[in-house]
């Protein structure tokens, strides 16, 4: 497939990346900002997410949230945003004829949001409801709990949305100061994909930002990892299912073995032909949902297995997952490795048919890594992985000393799970 992109750096340092996709009828614009939970002190916890919400509440040229949403939805477009640990994303996808409108809406609320005091207080209540919703959904809660277990007493272990206490303590001045600190030209990447030529797109973006004064942003808090023994946290809930996460420390986004870990992840828990799915669901009938995932951050990462089971089968499910982690350390047959490679490559190719996915692919890499690997580059890296590579990464990472387990369910204590927490 073709995944060629072009890059322009404006006179004030803004990075603009585009991919021309003439076969599409859409244009997708994604703004990436180096703002997220890893840039926040404990007192600021959730401030990146709060700022993201406030950008949609009114800007200089569209002073209400209704005007912002109607401008894009009125042409059939999609407008949204997300905050994570290392970045905040704002994206818009519209019919290509409305590219200029989409760029204007995004640029306006990123450059000149109003932060109306009344809207700040209303949005504070909305965010508190969002935190409550996550807390009330057991599968979401266990995702947060495993982070707390893996990364205690640091930004990585906190909910990206913050805590009720921190959100209640964030003031309008704090929001504006944080946005000024992080929303600056060196800390922003604009990525565009769709049926629009590079020169046209880059010129339009430059016109919006050429007079924006820039400065150096704040830096993220580095990871702290002093784990030397298994960790376990069980949170009692009156639920119909037990929700289980078993996690190991993973690899950073620049680690040379990251693709071997992704291959291990595909073999163990991606898709209905993965080892965990076949063993826990098809063979034992223990679960409806079981899967694994990897996360690659700037200086660390994670590998996590999730399962939702009847509480009476929770101990057996934990043991079964740990058993699969043990036996994969013996290696992966060539045929199984080949299947995993084709799965990863095929999934990537299919994802790149969408203009927003292409824009996201470019922008995230440029912001986080200061370089972009093409799809072809990644596929070549995947093809180069050997069975020895997968075995090595399994034996290096799937170790008892770095094992973390989080369980949410109707359990009075963690005693039933303490024994045999080893790989």
Whether 221 is in a domain gets the answer no
Whether 214 is in a domain gets the answer no
Residue 243 contacts residue 308 (beta carbons within 8 Å): yes
Q: What is the pLDDT of residues 247-284, one digit of tens each?
A: 999 999 999 999 999 999 999 999 999 999 999 999 99
Could you tell me which residues come within 8 angstroms of residue 134 by beta carbon, excluding any fewer than 6 positions away?
140, 141, 144, 159, 161
Quick check: helix, strand or coil at residue 47?
helix
Q: What is the pLDDT of residues 42-58, one digit of tens each?
A: 999 999 999 999 999 99
Whether 197 and 264 share a structural domain: no
Q: What is the pLDDT of residues 120-169, one digit of tens each?
A: 999 999 999 999 999 999 999 999 999 999 999 999 999 999 999 999 99
Share of the chain above pLDDT 90, in %: 98
Q: How far from the centroid of its chain's Cα atoms is residue 221's Cα?
A: 17
Whether 237 and 199 share a structural domain: no
In this predicted structure, the answer to whether residue 2 has a pLDDT above a threshold of 70 is no
DSSP 192: E
Whether 162 and 262 share a structural domain: no
Domain tally for the chain?
Answer: 2
Q: Are strands 231-236 and 301-309 parallel, antiparallel or unpaired?
A: unpaired
Whether 104 and 32 share a structural domain: yes
What pLDDT score does 113 carry?
A: 97
Could you tell me which residues come within 8 angstroms of residue 162 by beta carbon, excluding any fewer than 6 positions away?
37, 40, 45, 46, 47, 49, 50, 127, 131, 170
For residue 45, the domain's CATH number is 3.30.830.10
Which one of the listed residues 44, 52, 148, 270 is annotated catalytic? 52
Q: Annotated catalytic, 52?
A: yes
Whether 169 and 68 share a structural domain: yes
Q: What is the span of the domain harbouring residue 282?
A: 231-418
Whether 389 and 246 share a structural domain: yes
Q: What is the pLDDT of residues 189-247, one digit of tens each?
A: 999 999 999 999 999 999 999 999 899 999 999 999 999 999 999 999 999 999 999 99
Give the tokens for residue 198. Answer: 């590079």
In this predicted structure, the answer to whether residue 312 has a pLDDT above a threshold of 80 is yes
What pLDDT score does 419 carry?
A: 87
Could you tell me which residues come within 8 angstroms of residue 219 by beta carbon, excluding any fewer than 6 positions away?
39
Whether 218 is in a domain gets the answer no
Task: Report CA dihedral (139, 144, 147, 153) to the nearest 10 degrees.
Answer: -160
Helix %, strand %, coil % for the chain, to 5?
Answer: 50, 20, 35
Residue 130 contacts residue 86 (beta carbons within 8 Å): no
Whether 270 is in a domain gets the answer yes
What pLDDT score does 1 carry?
A: 43
Whether 65 and 120 share a structural domain: yes
Whether 244 and 200 share a structural domain: no
Residue ranges of alpha helices (H) inside 74-182 are 99-111, 117-136, 138-150, 164-169, 172-182
Domain limit, last residue, from 209, 244, 273: 209
Whether 196 and 247 share a structural domain: no
């Amino acid at each position: 497939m073709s995944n060629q992109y072009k890059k322009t750096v404006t006179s004030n340092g803004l990075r603009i990346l585009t991919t021309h996709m003439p076969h599409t009828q859409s244009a997708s614009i994604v703004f990436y900002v180096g703002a997220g939970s890893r840039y926040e002190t404990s007192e600021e916890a959730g401030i990146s997410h709060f700022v993201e919400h406030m950008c949609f509440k009114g800007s200089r040229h569209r002073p209400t949230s209704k005007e912002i949403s109607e401008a894009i939805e009125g042409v059939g477009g999609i407008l949204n945003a997300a905050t994570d640990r290392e970045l905040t994303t704002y994206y818009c996808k519209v019919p290509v004829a409305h590219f200029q409108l989409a760029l204007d809406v995004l640029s306006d609320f990123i450059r000149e949001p109003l932060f109306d005091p009344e809207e700040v207080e209303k949005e504070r209540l909305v965010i508190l409801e969002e935190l409550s919703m996550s807390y009330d959904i057991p599968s979401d809660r266990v995702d947060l709990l495993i982070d707390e277990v893996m990364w205690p007493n640091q930004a990585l272990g906190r909910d990206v949305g913050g805590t009720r206490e921190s959100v209640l303590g964030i003031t309008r001045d704090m929001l504006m100061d944080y946005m000024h600190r992080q929303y600056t030209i060196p800390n922003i990447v604009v990525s565009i994909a769709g049926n629009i030529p590079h020169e046209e797109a880059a010129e339009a973006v430059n016109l919006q930002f050429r007079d924006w004064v820039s400065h150096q942003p704040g830096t993220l808090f580095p990871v702290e990892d002093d784990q030397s023994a298994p960790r376990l946290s069980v949170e009692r809930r009156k639920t119909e299912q037990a929700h289980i996460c078993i996690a190991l420390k993973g690899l950073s986004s620049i680690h040379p073995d990251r693709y071997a870990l992704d291959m291990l992840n595909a073999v163990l828990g991606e898709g209905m032909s993965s080892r965990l799915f076949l063993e826990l669901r098809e063979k034992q009938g223990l679960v409806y949902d079981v899967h694994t995932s990897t996360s690659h951050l700037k200086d660390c990462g994670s590998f996590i297995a999730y399962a939702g089971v009847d509480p009476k089968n929770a101990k057996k499910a934990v043991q079964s997952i740990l058993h699969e982690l043990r036996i994969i350390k013996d290696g992966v047959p060539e045929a199984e490795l080949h299947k995993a490679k084709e799965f990863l490559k095929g999934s990537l190719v299919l994802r790149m048919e969408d203009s927003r996915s292409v824009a996201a692919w470019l922008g995230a890499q440029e912001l986080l890594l200061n370089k972009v690997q093409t799809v072809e580059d990644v596929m070549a890296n995947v093809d180069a992985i050997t069975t020895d590579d997968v075995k090595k990464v399994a034996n290096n990472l799937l170790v008892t000393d770095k094992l973390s387990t989080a369980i949410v369910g109707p359990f009075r204590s963690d005693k039933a799970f303490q024994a045999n927490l080893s790989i």
